[in-house]
Every structure is written in C-alpha cells, then in structure tokens.
C-alpha cells in the first residue's frame, strides 16, 4: 500500500489532517496527504470489538475457492451478493462453520442438500453443518444484502467523482479491505493466511464497467439494462486483496514485453483523467522490466497488471492483486507519482504473491515495497543521483525520520497494523542489511525470497526471511534483526580513537566504540579512514555496549569518520545534555486510548507528570515518585483523562515531565 510522510513525523490520513502536527519545515519537500491506509487501520482499531468475538471456528477449515456474485447499482443505497465457498475441514468432525461478517444482512445459507441453519453474533456468521470429515471438500452458498453508503472507505463505498473542469459527475463504487474490511462487504474467512482461488461476477447498469482481479472471463449483456463482468483469479489470493471497482471508465492498455515475460497492461480511469493517465502510467512497463530484473518474473503474467481509479482514498493506492487501485488525486500531468506506481507494482511480489501469514509480519509487505522506491531511484539516477535528480541515498534519507523512530511502535507486530514505521523503518532494515551483506549477496537474497523455493503464491513469516538472509550472508543474522524489529530505539554511539606512528608503515589506529542505547544491537559500521594515500574503508563489528579495534595503515592517518554514508541508523551520544528528556509520545495523535510518554532520566530524581491544554490549564497531575537514573528509555502511561476522571476532548495538549530543577515538554494531539 502506498504512503506519504512528513519529515520526522507519522502522517495521519487526510480525514484527520487538521489534527496533524509538524515540527519540521516541509517547504522544501513535495508533500502529499496520507494515502488512507493508516487511517483505515486506526478506525479498525477504534471499533468497539466487545460484541464482535473472534470465532475460533474459522481456523477449523481451509478455503479452496470463492465464487462471489454481486449486483450493484451506484445510484442505489444497497446491493445484493452471493458467495460460494468451497472448503476442506482441518479437524476430524466439523459441525459448525464460521465466516467473518460485519453489518451484512444474511438472507440464506444453503448447500447441495438444501437450507442450513445459521446465526449471526458480533462479527461472526455461524452455520450448522451436517457432519463433515477431515480433509473432505465441501461447499456452501451464502446469500446476503449490504448497505451502499456514500463515502464509506472501510469495505465497500459509493463515491461521486466531480470533474473540476466541467459540470460532469461520475458515479462509482469501489472497495478497500486492508487490513480486515473484507468482512464488511462479503462473508469470508477474513484472514491473510488462508488464500484461495476466486471468481468475482459483478452485475452493473449498462454503460458502467466493473473491474476486479485476474482475467475477464466474460462480459455479458443481460438484455435488461445490465451487464455482468466475470473476473477469474487463477492464482491464490488473500481476502483483503480481492477488490471491485465500478465506474464509467475509459479503458486503455498495452502489451508489455520484457526479457522474461509478456504482460497485458490495463488501466481504467475516469474520462477527464484519460490524458493524465497516459503520463502517470507511462513508465510502468519500464518498471515491470526493472522489477523482473531485480526479483524475477511477474507472478501474474498470465493474467494482467494495471490500475483502476478510485476515490476510497483520494490520495491513496492499494495493491489489489493484478489491478492496483489508484486515488483520483494522484492523477497528474507528470510522473511525480512514479514512486507510488513502483511501490504498488512491487507489492505484486511482496504482499500479493508472498502474503504475510499474520498481520505482525506486515513489514514484509510495506518495508519491501518502500525499499523498492529507493532501488527504482538508484536504477534511474544512481546512488547519489545527478545534478537534476536525486538517487538512492536521497530516498533513504527522505524516509528516515528526524527522530529515527525512537519511541514509536515496533516494526514487528506494530500498533496500529499499518503504522508508518513498518514502511520506513522496515525499508531501512533492508538498507542496513544490504550495507552489511554487500550487493552480490543481498540481491541474490531478495530474488530468492521473492521467487525461490515454495514461497510464490504462499504465505511467509519474518522468521523465514531471517533464516534465508542468514543462509545468504553465511552468518546468523538473528542478533541483527531482533532489535531492529522489536525495539523502539537506535544505537547511541560514542567514538574515540588514537593514532600512533602516523607517518608511514606501522601507523596504528585504535578505535573505541560505545553504544549508550541500552539495547544489544549487532551492527557492522563502515569506517572511513582518510590517509595520506587516500581513503581506506574498514568496518567495526559492535555487538552490545562496546568494542575496541586496532587497525594498521601504511601512511599517515589524517581523519576518521564513522559511517559517513549512513548505512546504519544511529545517533551520536551527546557529550553534554539534560538528564531528563521526553523523547516521544505514542501514539500521536492519541485515539481514545492510553498514551505513552517515552523519556530518558539519567540521574536519580523525584519525577512528576503534568498535562496542559492550549490555554495553559493543568488538566492532569501525577506524582510518579523517586526514579533511579538510567541510560535506558522508559515510558509513562496516561489514560487520556483529567484529574476528575473525565476523557479530554480532541485538541492539542502538552506533556511536561519534571525532575527537580529539570523539565521537558512535548506537544501532542488527541483525536476523538
């Protein structure tokens, strides 16, 4: 899924953009609003789950095939659907079959023998089955009705595109299902690990086009003012990647011939954007060839690739299998959004072919797709770039936050699922891995991961990638990955060095490196040593708190720089600094729940917390009490309530920590 960020801060969806706080000057950047997936994930987390129990029954079978039939009119307020589910039980006796369903009106459930009894509770549809045996394939059909709500972005929604250059309007319907909104518009097993074949049949009024995954198997004129488009996805697909897009589209395309494959490229856009689309997608075939050269053949070459314009996230894009959705506000008369185009294309390998087994592994989608953006710039402009364009290093600096993700959620098992960290820090993990392994081993690893073994069309986990990376690197990389995936800080380094000799053969350089982060990182740091004979690159392997290395040179050592090209994310430990510092508040904005105040206190002190509103009123005061000084980051939790126990309203607030004469203040936002 594509994304946008402001330098140093998480970007929140356009729907809450008014609550966003930026502490860096963005004037030099080409900024876009958030592409919608972060906001969608947060809305999912905010939903009241009390009456929506997770049904254990959904783990008792494997889905083999879905056949989804929909009848949709963008001018209506509801739609009808039917889903055929072919499945195989994974337990000896399956008597209750459970599907994930939210806010759908279930009309009937049948199998080959007739109606089946069912009940709906919370987010579950529970169906009573005749006794079904382990591994024996069976099927059932669920008929249902759902609401078609204007502007709904979670699941299925009805939207109207207004052409700003005319009075024309274009009605459309489209879906957005990541992470778990498929259940909002069709009954399914809404879990990423259970991939299946799928046929999607969509009946719409004449004059409209309905687009979905796979290949168009039929376009049927029903003779009653409607048409039915039948799409067949012959490759395994996760429920969140199944999509529909309906509109009065212009359709155009080409055949993309690469050294490895021939791929049908198809685009569906609103008519006023037809000329823009020619420019916006002009480089797609070049990107396809680039991706195939990087990781191997396009996994769905026998079907198609392209884009369907949608409005669910106006400035967003979503990597629906074989047909990415592309927001209306991304259409420009330039290639300024190429980074989004290549990001979504990369997802066809990383996310669609290789799908995370569970949402904690989502960085394997977003980190890889974001890193591909940097590799595309390297392909075009080189590592440093040219006079007119910026290359790989520029892109990696662009996605490195001003606070180095300190105090943010973790990359593995993040909260919310699609937090910005999984995109940018996830990409930086790959960047650091490349620097450590070297290009030959690293790119062999990436190609093997994407297209090797039994992984294509399957599900993957983080541990699998760590093991494969270690096999290619010829070393155990668990110690490298663990802190970057599971911690919310970076190394805080102090470097000292001494030189003996200094005039010729026998010059000795002793370098001491100390990490003050309190986390056991396993990193290899490039060391640039400038000598009288030129630059000499060495490396320092630091595991844990400190190391010292002795290096020999044949000429005078003039200068020593640690990691000048930024191959590792680290910070210089300050020599003089306040013993009390708030590092971050998380999540920021805070959404109705507990907020953490991440801080450092390096001297023993009595600690106190205060929360102030925009008028300077102290709403909350807590005497934390005596706290021992330490170099490790710590966290205080605030409930989002004032001293009277009342929830504070949406707005901008300040947290102040006090320890003796020291104080540290940080601004944050609450969104209700």
Residue 319 lies in a domain: no
DSSP label at 221? E
Position 237 scores a pLDDT of: 98
Mean pLDDT of the 599-624 span: 87
Asked if 160 and 320 count as a contact pair (C-beta separation under 8 A), the reply is no
Position 664 scores a pLDDT of: 80
| Structural tokens at position 650 | 């949406």
Nearest of 107, 3, 9 to residue 667 by alpha carbon: 9
pTM for the model stands at 0.81
Q: Average the pLDDT over each of 72-76, 195-199, 642-646 and give the range with the smallest value.
A: 642-646
Residues 631 and 585 grouped into a single domain:
yes
Pick the more confident residue, 496 or 251: 251
Query: 264 pLDDT band (50/70/90 cuts)?
Result: very high
CB count within 10 Å of CB 651 equals 12
Position 39 scores a pLDDT of: 42
Residue 468 lies in a domain: no
Position 439 scores a pLDDT of: 98
Query: 58 pLDDT band (50/70/90 cuts)?
Result: confident
Which residue's structure tokens are 């509770």? 121
454 contacts: CB under 8 Å, gap ≥ 6: none
Residue 47 lies in a domain: no
C-alpha to C-alpha distance for 243 and 211, rounded to whole angstroms: 8
Position 13 scores a pLDDT of: 29
Q: What DSSP assignment string belongs to 377-391?
A: HHHHHTTTB-SSSB-
Mean pLDDT of the 379-398 span: 94
Q: What is the pLDDT of residues 539-596, one digit of tens each?
A: 999 999 999 999 999 888 888 999 999 999 999 985 445 578 888 888 888 876 678 9
Q: What is the pLDDT of residues 475-495, one digit of tens each?
A: 999 999 999 999 999 999 999
Residue 546 lies in a domain: yes
Residue 122 lies in a domain: no
- Residue that terminates a domain, selected from 533, 548, 572: 572
Residue 627 lies in a domain: yes
Q: Is a pLDDT exceeding 60 seen at residue 45?
A: no
Residues 597 and 646 grouped into a single domain:
yes
Q: What DSSP assignment string belongs to 138-156?
A: EEEEEEEEEE--BT--SEE
Residues 567 and 584 grouped into a single domain:
no
**What CATH number is given to the structural domain containing 585?**
2.60.40.4070
Residues 523 and 548 grouped into a single domain:
yes
Position 22 scores a pLDDT of: 30
- Residue that terminates a domain, selected from 572, 595, 622: 572
Query: 26 pLDDT band (50/70/90 cuts)?
Result: very low
Residue 84 lies in a domain: no
Residues 659 and 642 grouped into a single domain:
yes
Query: 498 pLDDT band (50/70/90 cuts)?
Result: confident
Residues 524 and 552 grouped into a single domain:
yes
**What CATH number is given to the structural domain containing 560?**
2.60.40
Residues 533 and 591 grouped into a single domain:
no
Structural domain tally of the chain? 2
Q: Is a pLDDT exceeding 60 seen at residue 27?
A: no
Position 503 scores a pLDDT of: 58
Q: Is a pLDDT exceeding 50 seen at residue 410?
A: yes
Residues 592 and 664 grouped into a single domain:
yes
Q: Where are the alpha helices (DSSP H) in 382-513?
A: 392-398, 420-437, 439-451, 462-473, 478-486
Q: What is the mean pLDDT of the chain?
A: 88
Residues 518 and 590 grouped into a single domain:
no
Burial 320-332 (b: 16+ CB within 10 A, else e): bbbbbbbbbbbbe
Q: Which sign, positive or negative, has the C-alpha torsion 306, 291, 381, 525?
A: positive
Position 590 scores a pLDDT of: 83
- Residue that terminates a domain, selected from 572, 600, 630: 572
Q: What is the pLDDT of residues 135-159, one digit of tens each?
A: 889 999 999 999 999 999 889 999 9
Per DSSP (E only), the strands in 503-553 are: 507-515, 522-531, 534-543, 546-553
645 contacts: CB under 8 Å, gap ≥ 6: none
Distances (CA, A) of 577 to 10, 408, 518, 560, 603: 26, 22, 17, 24, 12
Residues 649 and 599 grouped into a single domain:
yes
Residues 568 and 593 grouped into a single domain:
no
Question: How long is the chain?
Answer: 672
In terms of phi and psi (left: phi > 0; alpha: psi -120 to 50; beta: otherwise), the region of 248 is: beta
| Phi, psi dihedrals of residue 635, rounded to the nearest 5° | -140, 135
Cis peptide before 469 (omega within 30 of 0): no
**Domain around 545:** 492-572
Residue 658 lies in a domain: yes
Q: Is a pLDDT exceeding 50 seen at residue 47?
A: no
Q: What is the pLDDT of residues 330-353, one digit of tens each?
A: 998 888 999 999 999 999 999 999
Residues 588 and 553 grouped into a single domain:
no
């Amino acid at each position: 899924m594509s994304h946008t960020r402001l330098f140093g801060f998480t970007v929140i969806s356009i729907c809450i953009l008014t609550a966003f706080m930026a502490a860096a000057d963005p004037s030099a950047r080409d900024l876009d609003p958030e592409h919608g997936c972060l906001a969608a994930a947060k809305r999912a987390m905010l939903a009241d789950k009390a009456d929506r129990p997770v049904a254990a029954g959904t783990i008792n079978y494997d889905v083999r095939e879905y056949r989804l039939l929909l009848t949709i009119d963008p001018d209506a307020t509801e739609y009808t659907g039917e889903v055929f589910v072919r499945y195989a039980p994974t337990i000896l006796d399956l008597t209750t079959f459970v599907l994930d369903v939210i806010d759908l009106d279930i009309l009937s459930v049948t199998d080959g023998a007739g109606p089946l009894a069912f009940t709906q509770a919370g987010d579950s549809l529970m169906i009573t089955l005749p006794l079904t045996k382990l591994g024996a394939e069976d099927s059932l059909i669920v008929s249902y009705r759902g609401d078609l709500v204007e502007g709904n972005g979670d699941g299925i929604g009805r939207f109207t595109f207004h052409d700003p250059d005319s009075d024309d309007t274009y009605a459309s319907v489209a879906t957005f299902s990541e992470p778990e909104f498929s259940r909002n518009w069709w009954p399914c097993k809404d879990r990423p690990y259970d991939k299946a074949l799928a046929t999607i049949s969509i009946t719409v009024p004449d004059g409209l086009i309905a687009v979905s995954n796979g290949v168009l198997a039929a376009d049927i004129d029903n003779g009653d003012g409607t048409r039915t488009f039948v799409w067949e996805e012959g490759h395994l697909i996760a429920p969140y990647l199944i999509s529909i897009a309906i509109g009065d589209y212009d359709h155009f395309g080409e055949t993309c011939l690469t050294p490895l494959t021939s791929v049908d490229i198809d685009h569906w856009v609103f008519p006023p954007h037809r000329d823009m689309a020619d420019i916006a997608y002009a480089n797609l075939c070049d990107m396809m060839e680039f991706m195939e050269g990087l990781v191997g053949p396009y996994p769905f070459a026998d079907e198609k690739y392209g884009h369907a314009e949608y409005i669910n996230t106006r400035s967003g894009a979503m990597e629906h299998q074989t047909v990415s959705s592309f927001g209306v506000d991304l259409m420009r008369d330039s290639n300024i959004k190429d980074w989004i185009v290549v990001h979504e294309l990369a997802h066809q390998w990383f996310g669609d072919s290789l799908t995370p087994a569970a949402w904690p592994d989502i960085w394997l989608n977003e980190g890889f797709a974001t890193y591909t953006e940097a590799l595309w710039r390297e392909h075009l402009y080189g590592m440093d770039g040219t006079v007119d364009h910026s290359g790989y290093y520029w892109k990696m600096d662009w996605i490195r936050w001003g606070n180095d993700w300190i105090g943010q959620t973790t990359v593995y098992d993040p909260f919310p699922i699609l937090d910005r960290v999984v995109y940018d820090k996830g990409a930086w993990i790959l960047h650091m891995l490349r620097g450590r392994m070297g290009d030959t081993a690293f790119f062999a690893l990436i190609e093997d991961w994407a297209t090797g073994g039994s992984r294509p069309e399957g599900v993957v986990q983080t541990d699998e990638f760590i093991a494969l990376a270690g096999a290619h690197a010829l070393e155990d990389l668990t110690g490298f990955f663990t802190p970057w995936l599971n911690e919310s800080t970076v190394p805080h380094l102090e470097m000292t060095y001494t030189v003996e000799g200094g005039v010729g053969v026998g010059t000795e350089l002793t370098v001491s490196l100390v990490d003050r982060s309190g986390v056991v990182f396993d990193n290899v740091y490039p060391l640039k040593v400038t000598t009288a004979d030129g630059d000499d690159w060495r490396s320092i392997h630091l595991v844990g708190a400190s190391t010292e290395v002795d290096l020999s040179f044949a000429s005078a050592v003039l200068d020593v720089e640690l990691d000048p090209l930024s191959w590792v994310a680290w910070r210089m430990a300050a020599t003089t600094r306040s013993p009390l510092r708030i590092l971050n508040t998380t999540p920021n904005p805070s959404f109705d729940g507990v907020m953490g105040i991440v801080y450092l206190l390096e001297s023993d002190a009595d600690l106190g917390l205060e929360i102030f509103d925009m008028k300077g009123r102290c709403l909350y005061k807590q005497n934390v009490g005596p706290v021992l000084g330490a170099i490790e980051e710590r966290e205080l939790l605030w409930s989002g309530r004032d001293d009277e126990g009342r929830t504070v309203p949406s707005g901008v607030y300040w947290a102040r920590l006090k320890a003796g004469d020291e104080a540290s203040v940080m601004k944050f936002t609450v969104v209700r």
